[in-house]
Copies of this chain bind each other. A is one copy, B any other.
């Protein structure tokens, strides 16, 4: 059975870079892996996709055919992708690979908050699909930014009803102090709580206490997996997390 990983996250959070680096790690470790670009508007990708939705739907064609600018064309193109699921799936299956990484649309909302995407994940991912949600370090380094990413990630999870992991991208861009802060928030809710309250405008403190309780009850606190494409760091942890989700902790291939 194929294990499918959908890489999602806000614009600029490093999805394509993550995809490129994780594939590199997988191939180095001899895990047969196919990479699918699902972004019709991708400019230049840091990897050569095995399967590329741009061969089926191109943002430029949509712009000229429908007479739309980039904003409108991105929405239409995202919806059009769903028309090609059968073709995409046939292509994926022709590789007879164990793992598939899907690099999703540049803007999270084009993937996560359009009705077509549920169909896409269900059809392509069948019963073995999970999401990797990217935390951009520029936003994750403040307590309220970190919590808003937790909330956003939980919202996306809720849209798809699929297992997910949270990934901190581009850790090489963070100084030691920021990285330590983020790591401690991710491992210790009390620390995050303290930092958040300290950082909140007075009138919102009480609201944030409630919000925090809500996050606790939603079980959104997962250890964030730090990665760096530049240092090819953290990808073994991603692989292990996939095994935990799909194989109950055992290596799927029992190497």
Contact = CB atoms under 8 A, between A and B. Distances in A.
Contacts of A115: 138-139, 145
Number of copies: 2
Interface string A101-122: 0000011111001110000000
Interface size range on A against B? 35 or more
Contacts of A138: 115
Interface string A141-155: 000110111011011
Contacts of A75: 11-12
Interface in A80-125: 106-110, 113-115
A232 interface: no
Contact of A214 (B39, B71, B108, B217): B217
A159 interface: yes
A107 B114 CA distance: 12
Interface stretch (A28-36, A176-184, A205-213, A241-249): A205-213
A217 B213 contact: yes
A210 B204 contact: no
Interface of A is mostly: helix
A223 B180 CA distance: 41
A210 B201 contact: no
Contacts of A73: 70
B107 A201 contact: no
A41 interface: yes
A104 to B, nearest CB: 12
A214 B214 CA distance: 4
A151 B148 contact: no
A20 interface: no
A43 interface: yes
B41 A113 contact: no
A2 interface: no
Contact of A161 (B72, B155, B204): B204
Contacts of A10: 109, 113
Interface of A: 10-12, 39, 41-44, 59, 68-75, 106-110, 113-115, 136, 138-139, 144-145, 147-149, 151-152, 154-155, 158-159, 161, 200-201, 204, 207, 210-211, 213-215, 217-219
16 contacts: A10-B113, A11-B74, A42-B69, A107-B110, A108-B109, A113-B139, A145-B159, A148-B155, A148-B158, A151-B151, A151-B154, A151-B155, A210-B217, A210-B218, A213-B214, A217-B217
